[in-house]
Structure 1
Amino acid sequence: MRVNSNTKARTRAAAGLTVAALAAGATAGAGPATAQPKAAPAAAAADCSAAYRIEQKLSSGTTWRMCWRYDGKAGLVLEKISYQPKGEPKPIRVLNSARLGQIHVPYDDGNIEYDDLTGFDFAQGLMNLAPGECPGGTIKTVKVPDSWNEDPNVKGLCTTTRSRGHAYRMQGDTANKVFQAQGKDLLVYTVNQVGWYEYMTEWRFQDDGAITMNVGATGSLSWDDYDAGDGRGWPIGKGASAKSTSHSHNAFWRLDFALDGSTKNRVEQYDSTVSAPTRGQRAPTTKTTRTKVTKELAGDSKNYRWWRMVSATGKNKDGHARSYEIVPGPTTKYPGRSYTKRDLYVTQYNKCELFASHNPGNCGPGAGKSVDKWVNGQALTHPVVWMNIGFHHIARDEDQQPMPVHWQGFSIAPRDVTAMNPLTPAELGWQNGHWQPRR
């Protein structure tokens, strides 16, 4: 059971609540937000006004550029996202737009389910962030459309940088030479309160060109749900009388690719099969096949299966077509609704197809209100990717109080975007392809 979001929004405004304590785990070990991230030169800025521009040159030499806006239902939307590693003469466009496509929350007892973006005012619940929640970064002010609060302006968008550990490590030809680098990320995030939950929507832009999108759920378990009389819940507190109702979080993301500035991208699926050794072979063999996806797709992740989005126009310095590989994260696929039964959908772009379920737009007669209904055989000339990552939340004693963040998400990784590792040290730059040790 959730409290009324209208009441929560007004209470939030009056009390001036923040989520500093709840997000502390996500920023543990970092100092206060005293330094603004280093901006890239204005001449190379993304195509938007300064107030809605994010530009960050990371210490490894990679620059990310993008624009942002805030949607009245989807919340944070990132647009015109480009990546420029060192050695590349100009930015490489990756995405037209990237945002959440839905958070669907069905409860195990079958009594209720929520569509948090379109049905439970996710965007209205944008939270003010304290400086300590954005260490070393900048908190931008967001004007929430049609806000219920007297002041629609929320200090709710953090942009900062963060180390992620080793980007690579390699022992050189001699025992006294080690090549290693620590990876750096641009981190962009918001926190939105929906009932008892607080969702951390996080975007990580890595210096090696990968993008990771996560949703972290924190906040509080609803004490109203400690009744699980159907026997499905997990006991919370002393004894077994109070049981928290289990539920799922099915998060969808919507990615509109524009590799090298063109939306005419190609979709490819790769599957590998492993065969037992035949006579004379010393080990099993693996064969990988490519399938060109030319029509809309409802796909399932499988062992030895992956997808990539291929540029229609751009190639790297080796002459290979640039692409991004889709890397699903851990997931629990929810079988209860038709739109959650698949891991990935690729649809032909339609400006009214914005949310994976309970889509509010009028997409025409018979179009349906969920992403599975939009996969109807259209040719893919402007593909849009929908990723579904599920989490089955069976509560535990440690979920109180407050509840530790539980994360779900996925990544897209560059495949042949650059001719070599974009973080390659200069003295190894000659070792591209089939090389022999220098004498």
Structure 2
Amino acid sequence: MHRKRVAAALAVAALTGGAAAATGPAAAAAPKAPTAPAPPADCSAAYTIEQKLSGGTTWRMCWHYESEAGLVLDKVSYQPKGEAKPIRVLTTAKLAQIHVPYDDGQWEWDDLTGQAFGQGLQELTPGECPGGTIKTVKVPDAFEPSQANVKGLCTTTRSRGHAYRMAGEQANKAWAAQGKDLLVYTVNQVGWYEYITEWRFADDGTISANVGATGSLSYDDYDAGDGRGWPIGKGAKDSATSHSHNVFWRLNFGLDGSSANRVEQYDSVVTPVANGGTPKTKTTRTPVAKELAGDAKAMRWWRMVSATGKNKDGHPRSYEIVPGATTKYPGRGFTRHDVYFTEYNKCEQFASNNLRNCGPGAGRSVDKWVNGQTLKHPITWVNVGFHHIARDEDQQPMPVHWQGFQLSPRDVTAMNPLTPPALADQNGNYQ
């Protein structure tokens, strides 16, 4: 068998703080604002993650753990400095499938719903969560009314390099700051693979979702031929079978606390100009009123727009979906598109091999759920693929290969949430 048996287990973790450095011309300290009362808790302390980063941004969220999806984040909110209260971003966010078809057609796996992904939560060592906290959580068994305790979820902070840099008016001076992220992650073992499920919440409001595959190549699959594998080891023997990792995420946005968000698609077209002229580019906005299976292409993007909230400039708050590098897998209907927007249905939880019976003719994969319904409560499904053609460097252990996407704030705040006080008046055409 391609998969080795994994024991049931689980865990969760807390968090710790960190500081980002900033340099630049000296500025008078801004008057200290009165301390606002803490917002009411959305969940008990044991299931709360709250972190104030050094730039003044606070992220808050709840979490729970499921036997198939693993870690689920709930009620995610973002409160940059200058905002009186938290801004809700997501109602729930989780993995929705890791689909692994092998190039020789012998094996095809749904690692979440077909391999009990949540059962394989791994115990983390202290060195894997530097500066952070690892908590013990109860992992529900998919088949028995029992639970296992595993120290398996790390919450910490990480530096990410420059948050911004801008030359100052004085020589050899610059406005500059180092950015910080809140990092929340788990590791789940499925067969020979170990998957790092990582969520990063940046002090500038960006959310990054990534899955890193590591562990081992399956020695049971050193049987490839006919261009469907790569030789591993001495000579031309032991050819590891190539395969794909098609990772799906399910996002239930709740911008400003409302499920009635709007989807918009943007496309830009460049018109060449003859006789040495300068090309022109035009961008058009298309409201996505009905369910959609979308394909990423050059100069196309989507955003989820708040139906109720605006920033201090009066612009509707939104989050832009920024897909990462991907290799689209055409072998199945549900992997043929990069983004799906479907109308909310509690039954629809996994992008393929959905475990729940959603009714006659509903189908068990996300492509079957795009039926032209009007989007009143849109659910976003993001698909990022990776075609893994093994190499000698993949042993042993296998270096992590990452795939994922970002949610980038667009008009959530009126200015950069990390703007220094001395530049706070430079909004719009300030000159």
> TM-score scaled by structure 2?
0.92
1:287 pairs with one of 276, 279, 282: 282
Shift of 1:36: 3.9
Larger mean Cα displacement after TM superposition, 43-52 or 55-64: 43-52
| Residue aligning to 2:82 | 87
| Residue aligning to 2:318 | 323
| Residue aligning to 2:239 | 243
| Residue aligning to 2:298 | 303
Instruction: Note if contact 2:15-2:50 (Cα within 8 Å) is conserved in structure 1.
Output: no
1:283-432 aligned within 5 A: 283-432=278-427
Instruction: Note if contact 1:270-1:288 (Cα within 8 Å) is conserved in structure 2.
Output: yes
% identical equivalent positions = 73
Cα deviations by residue, 1:256-291 (Å, 9 ceiling, x for unpaired): 000000010000000010001257x84100000000
Match of 2:180, as an amino acid?
A: K
**Inter-partner Cα distance in structure 1 for 2:36 and 2:70:** 28
Instruction: Note if contact 2:322-2:405 (Cα within 8 Å) is conserved in structure 1.
Output: yes
| Residue aligning to 1:167 | 163
| Residue aligning to 1:30 | none
**Inter-partner Cα distance in structure 1 for 2:14 and 2:303:** 40
**Inter-partner Cα distance in structure 2 for 1:42 and 1:35:** 21
| Residue aligning to 1:275 | 271
* Secondary structure of residue in 1 paired with 2:368: helix
**Inter-partner Cα distance in structure 2 for 1:306 and 1:94:** 19
Match of 1:166, as an amino acid?
A: H
Shift of 1:435: 1.3
Question: In 2 relative to 1, CA 127–89 (structure 1 residues): closer, same or farther, beyond 3 Å?
Answer: same
**Inter-partner Cα distance in structure 2 for 1:336 and 1:326:** 24
Instruction: Tell me, yes or no, if structure 1 residue 153 matches structure 2 residue 146.
Output: no
Instruction: Tell me, yes or no, if structure 1 residue 57 matches structure 2 residue 57.
Output: no
Question: In 2 relative to 1, CA 35–319 (structure 1 residues): closer, same or farther, beyond 3 Å?
Answer: closer
**Inter-partner Cα distance in structure 1 for 2:169 and 2:272:** 36
Shift of 1:121: 1.1
Question: In 2 relative to 1, CA 289–70 (structure 1 residues): closer, same or farther, beyond 3 Å?
Answer: same
1:103-114 aligned within 5 A: 103-114=98-109
Tell me how large the CA RMSD over aligned residues is: 2.1
Cα deviations by residue, 1:153-192 (Å, 9 ceiling, x for unpaired): 1111100000000000000223232000000000000000
Shift of 1:37: 3.6
2:187 pairs with one of 188, 191, 213: 191
**Inter-partner Cα distance in structure 2 for 1:89 and 1:347:** 33
Cα deviations by residue, 1:31-88 (Å, 9 ceiling, x for unpaired): xx999448x9993354000000000000111000000000111000000000000000
Instruction: Note if contact 2:15-2:154 (Cα within 8 Å) is conserved in structure 1.
Output: no
**Inter-partner Cα distance in structure 1 for 2:295 and 2:158:** 33
Shift of 1:148: 8.0
2:207 pairs with one of 199, 205, 211: 211
Instruction: Note if contact 1:64-1:82 (Cα within 8 Å) is conserved in structure 2.
Output: yes
1:25-36 aligned within 5 A: 36=16
Cα deviations by residue, 1:204-260 (Å, 9 ceiling, x for unpaired): 000000000000000001111111144421000100011000000000000000000
Large movers: runs of 4+ above 6 Å: 147-151
Question: In 2 relative to 1, CA 109–41 (structure 1 residues): closer, same or farther, beyond 3 Å?
Answer: farther
**Inter-partner Cα distance in structure 1 for 2:127 and 2:4:** 29
**Inter-partner Cα distance in structure 2 for 1:35 and 1:102:** 27
**Inter-partner Cα distance in structure 2 for 1:34 and 1:287:** 46
**Inter-partner Cα distance in structure 1 for 2:37 and 2:69:** 29
Instruction: Tell me, yes or no, if structure 1 residue 3 matches structure 2 residue 10.
Output: no
Unaligned runs of 5+ in 1: 19-32
Question: In 2 relative to 1, CA 355–42 (structure 1 residues): closer, same or farther, beyond 3 Å?
Answer: farther
**Inter-partner Cα distance in structure 1 for 2:70 and 2:115:** 12
**Inter-partner Cα distance in structure 1 for 2:262 and 2:16:** 38
* Secondary structure of residue in 2 paired with 1:339: helix
Cα deviations by residue, 1:310-336 (Å, 9 ceiling, x for unpaired): 000000000000000000000000000
> TM-score scaled by structure 1?
0.90
* Secondary structure of residue in 2 paired with 1:152: strand
| Residue aligning to 1:25 | none
1:73 pairs with one of 44, 48, 68: 68
Instruction: Tell me, yes or no, if structure 1 residue 136 matches structure 2 residue 131.
Output: yes
| Residue aligning to 2:27 | none
**Inter-partner Cα distance in structure 2 for 1:267 and 1:357:** 23
Match of 2:2, as an amino acid?
A: R
**Inter-partner Cα distance in structure 1 for 2:122 and 2:314:** 46
Q: How many aligned residue pairs are there?
A: 413
Cα deviations by residue, 1:9-36 (Å, 9 ceiling, x for unpaired): 17x99xxxx9xxxxxxxxxxxxxx9994
Match of 1:307, as an amino acid?
A: W
